[in-house]
Amino acid sequence: MKIRIIQVFFALSFVSLSACQDIRADLPQRSDCIVKVILHWPNDIASEMQEDIINKISTTIMFSAAKGGPNVHPNLSVPRDRRDLIYLQFKKNCPQRFESAFDLFNYVTEAVPAAPSFVVTRERIIPGNDAIDVWGPEWADSPEYSW
């Protein structure tokens, strides 16, 4: 009887692990969810003012759905010492990430006074310290941890 219970336990464990691997296989890669947005600042805006505006842009993005903007909730990164780039990493609807980023920044330029003009690039961005490096259970290439 004990042997049979152990056999059933191992069989169920194997099936459970296989199911978890299949779930991960259906998830997108992080690079399939990242968008780079280039900000075009007027020449006469001081760097302190740019930093203040970027903080307002970040807050506007975080709360866009609550304030009537696009209902997307990307992670956001502004590279150190760069005020001309913002990286967004989406958790859902990654195939529509470029359109979502464009809609979001159209909302930002209306909601944030003095927001710069922008370009949403279509280049493939590799996650990393020089761009954005967010990971979690939403993406297939996230480091393993206890989920």
**Rounded to two decimals, what is the model's pTM?**
0.80
In this prediction, residue 7 carries a pLDDT of: 54
Q: Whole-angstrom Cα distance, residue 121 to residue 21? A: 32
Give the HSE-up count for residue 109: Cα atoms under 13 Å, Cβ half-sphere. 13
Q: Which two tokens stand for residue 65?
A: 């759905």
* Residues paired with 95 in a beta bridge: none
Find how far residue 32's CA is from the centre of its chain.
10
pLDDT at 96: 95
Residue for token digits 């990242």?
34
Q: Which fold has domain 30-120?
A: Alpha-Beta Plaits (3.30.70)
pLDDT of residue 146: 45
Mean pLDDT, consecutive 10-residue stretches, the chain (147 aa), reads 57 53 77 97 92 95 86 90 93 94 95 96 95 93 66
Quote the pLDDT of residue 147. 47
